[in-house]
Amino acid sequence: MEDIKVMPKPDWVSYDDIHELLAAAHKKNYEKGIVLGYSQMTGDQIKEMLGEEGECWVAMDGDKLVGTTSVTFFQGKNWWNKGKKVAHGCFTGILNQYQGIGILEDMNALKYDYTLAHGADMNQGDTAENNHTILKVLGKDGYKVVAYFAPKNTDHYSVRIVKWLKGCPFSDEYINKRCKWSERLTKWQYKPGRIERSRMISFICRKVSRKLGIG
């Protein structure tokens, strides 16, 4: 493991390789009931989602692919990112035997430099609410949970995490208050898997959400 190198994805590493790495890296999550949507996407879907401006990084132990992360960009429309250029982190996974030795931190450092160079105002990502390992690492790096949501075809709720790159314009109290309302409304409206509890509850939750500006 001493020769591990983190770098932009070379051409000889295919997006199908990235797909297979993500499936292997998240195998234990599947066993725990954490089914992450991004880790189930095909190589072609990953490539399409990244687009022209997006980038993928890999961690290599010699010729062996052991970790990956990516970023894509979009214009924000939610209360925490409205009108801002958002760098969305995605497709992150590290093989179990290579976790806890700084690979994620090294990949995030490259991703941070890349997003700054491309004029992003913030880094954003999603993960399962019970994916405590990722939340702990990103929390130490300055990320904050800003919202909850219920992704389709999964068995869990997820959280949206954000790191402002040019200074956070909101107080922790304000962020926590909005996040708590987002959690309540999401779990009132949906069961895991984005299954509506009832049309009436969904109607009420959407109305409250619009009134409070929760996104």
- Let me know: does 110 contact 39? Beta carbons within 8 Å: no
Mean pLDDT of 8-19: 95
Q: What percentage of residues in the chain have a pLDDT greater than 90?
A: 59
**Rounded distance between C-alpha atoms, residue 93 and residue 160, angstroms:** 17
Tens-place pLDDT, residues 43-75: 999 999 898 899 999 999 999 999 999 999 999
Is pLDDT above 60 for 1? no
The model carries a pTM of 0.81
Tens-place pLDDT, residues 173-211: 999 999 999 999 999 999 988 888 988 988 988 888 887
Q: Distance from first CA to last CA of the chain, Å, rounded?
A: 42
More confident residue, 191 or 2: 191
CATH topology of domain 4-178: Aminopeptidase (3.40.630)
The pLDDT score that the predictor gives to residue 34 is 59
The pLDDT score that the predictor gives to residue 144 is 95
